[in-house]
Amino acid sequence: MKGITKILILVGFVALITGCAPAIDGYKYMLTGKEGEPPPRTIEAAQAQFIDGNITIGQSTPADLKALLGSPAQIKKVDGNKVHVYMKNVSTQGVSVDVGTTYIASYTFNKKGKLVDKEYAAHPMGNPLTGQ
């Protein structure tokens, strides 16, 4: 009976450690006190998050975009055009009230289904502790 208990405890410990690895990685900075810098908030940094060099204005379709980047976070209509919006959150590594950066890429398709515009943006991520 003691052998089975030891094995169950060992298996439980391994499962706990492997399942919590991302959480432990995030909290290691709290122990060291290392202050973190948020990811950059520039258009260039936003463009680097979305590898879309094969998406060409005047030629690419929503199917081309979906094949490259997957499903968009949102599709909305603006002036009769469809805008596919992609978002990516990058967390600050270290101790900071600034939790990170949200990168946004918007791809506008005309009524014929051809890409007419690409836009990028970078904004601070909302902090659940401060409500901002």
In a domain, 93, yes or no: yes
The secondary structure element, H or E, covering residue 6 is: helix 2-19
In a domain, 77, yes or no: yes
- Report pLDDT digits (tens) over 52-81: 988 999 999 999 999 999 999 999 999 999
In a domain, 5, yes or no: no
Q: Which CATH number goes with the domain that contains 112?
A: 3.30.1450.10
Number of domains within the chain: 1
Q: What is the full DSSP assignment across 45-62?
A: HHHHHS--TT--TTT--H
Domain that holds residue 53: 43-125
Return the pLDDT at 21: 46
In a domain, 27, yes or no: no
For the entire predicted model, the pTM comes to 0.68
Torsions phi, psi for 63 (to 5 deg): -65, -40
Helices 2-19/21-32 angle, 10° precision: 70
In a domain, 34, yes or no: no
In a domain, 7, yes or no: no
